[in-house]
Amino acid sequence: MSQVHNFSAGPCILPQEVLEKASEAVTNFNDLDLSLLEISHRSVDFVAVMDKAISLVKELLEVPDGYSVIFLQGGASTQFTMVPYNLLSDNGVGVYVNTGTWASKAIKEAGILGKVEVLASSEDKNFTYIPKGYSIPADADYLHITSNNTIFGTQLKEFPECPVNLVCDMSSDIFSRKINVSDFDLIYAGAQKNMGPAGATMVIVKDEILGKVERAIPSMLDYRIHIKKESMYNTPPVFAVYVSMLTLEWLKSQGGVEAIQKVNEAKATLIYEEIDRNPLFKGIVAEEDRSTMNATFILEDESLESDFNQVLADARINGLKGHRSVGGYRASMYNALPIESVQALVDVMNAFAQQHS
């Protein structure tokens, strides 16, 4: 059977060797003749998994001293509530930049708990660009940004110099490019893009910013409790953490974040050059803000959509349909997607244009 080229936006493609190791662990983990899914999360074998996953995060992202790394449940969406619970004071304000659906949801959830202010938004043009040139009030409790916008295909290329706590949702581009963790006070990311399967969320938080709000924080929403309990306050998502550990091991074997960034940039250059060159297709976001992870585009002639979809299916190209709120097409090119899959898509687009010229 020929290869399926998986451009799914999430849950997304994982390295084949990771899937094979994870499959083996489901039936016989660590030669215990027990499944990973049925052993105690407090066993020596699983505690070693959690410790290794956290260690790899710190190594690959060069996390400095004074920061804690934890794995949690609830997806990135729970972080929309945890962030203000831990950082938004009773009389303070959380400030946000609205660059898409997930930022909008974060703003909504924070607004339930306290005062929020939207400093800048690209909603006026359906989130097809990244706002720039906004001022950050020095008396805010924190600034929340979203590094990559999966649905619309925009990405922050530079992060703001921030006089207050900087919080970033990196769910869809974590481990895809070099970052300076010390520029941020809190980073969170759902696993199901560049890290593992759905079910786990990774948080990196600067310890000194915690414990400063007046409110009582429910235990499950208190970062300090999860840090103290080493991500084991409740039963963790064992399978998602294990596969994340395997994926991070794979990333390290590829040369780490710096090496994979070069591959990701090559993949993005390949697809965007075809979008710009091909008369049948058109990009839908500002060129300077195009995402390396999610390339969004449309057909100039919508009447060709059925024909193009059939060509994609024949070429075993999967997951290219755009989000329902945007339409068109979205090529998600996470770390595990080989450049050969991007080339296969480019070849199909090129041949389709020749056929319909």
Indicate if 40 and 179 belong to the same structural domain.
yes
CA neighbor of 40 nearest in space, from 256, 278, 334, 236: 236
The predicted pLDDT at position 2 comes to: 57
For position 236, which CATH number holds? 3.40.640.10
Active site residue 169: yes
Say if 45 falls within a structural domain. Answer: yes
**Using CA of residue 302, residue 306, residue 307, residue 309, what is the dihedral sign?**
positive
Task: Say how far apart CA 263 and CA 265 lie, in whole Å.
Answer: 5
Last residue of a domain, one of 219, 238, 253: 253
Spatial neighbors of 33 by CB under 8 A, at least 6 apart, are none
DSSP 28: -
The predicted pLDDT at position 295 comes to: 98
Catalytic residue, candidates 141, 185, 193, 206? 193
Class of residue 318 by CB neighbours under 10 A (exposed 0-12, middle 13-18, buried 19+): middle
Asked if 100 and 127 count as a contact pair (C-beta separation under 8 A), the reply is yes
Neighbours of 18 (CB within 10 A): 22
- What are the pLDDT tens digits along the chain (357 aa)? 358 999 999 999 999 999 999 999 999 999 999 999 999 999 999 999 999 999 999 999 999 999 999 999 999 999 999 999 999 999 999 999 999 999 999 999 999 999 999 999 999 999 999 999 999 999 999 999 999 999 999 999 999 999 999 999 999 999 999 999 999 999 999 999 999 999 999 999 999 999 999 999 999 999 999 999 999 999 999 999 999 999 999 999 999 999 999 999 999 999 999 999 999 999 999 999 999 999 999 999 999 999 999 999 999 999 999 988 889 999 999 999 999 999 999 999 999 999 997
Last residue of a domain, one of 253, 273, 305: 253
Segments forming the whole domain that contains residue 218? 17-253
Indicate if 51 and 156 belong to the same structural domain.
yes
Indicate if 197 and 75 belong to the same structural domain.
yes
Active site residue 193: yes
Indicate if 106 and 241 belong to the same structural domain.
yes
Indicate if 235 and 137 belong to the same structural domain.
yes
Asked if 336 and 6 count as a contact pair (C-beta separation under 8 A), the reply is no
The predicted pLDDT at position 1 comes to: 38
Say if 11 falls within a structural domain. Answer: no
Asked if 197 and 240 count as a contact pair (C-beta separation under 8 A), the reply is yes
Structurally, how many domains does the chain consist of? 2
Say if 345 falls within a structural domain. Answer: yes
Indicate if 139 and 188 belong to the same structural domain.
yes
State pTM to two decimals: 0.97
Indicate if 31 and 110 belong to the same structural domain.
yes
Indicate if 61 and 182 belong to the same structural domain.
yes
The Cα-based distances of 301 to 165, 279, 356 in angstroms read 46, 10, 11
Indicate if 90 and 214 belong to the same structural domain.
yes
Indicate if 141 and 280 belong to the same structural domain.
no
The predicted pLDDT at position 3 comes to: 85
The predicted pLDDT at position 263 comes to: 98
The predicted pLDDT at position 357 comes to: 77
Strands 5-6 and 317-318: parallel
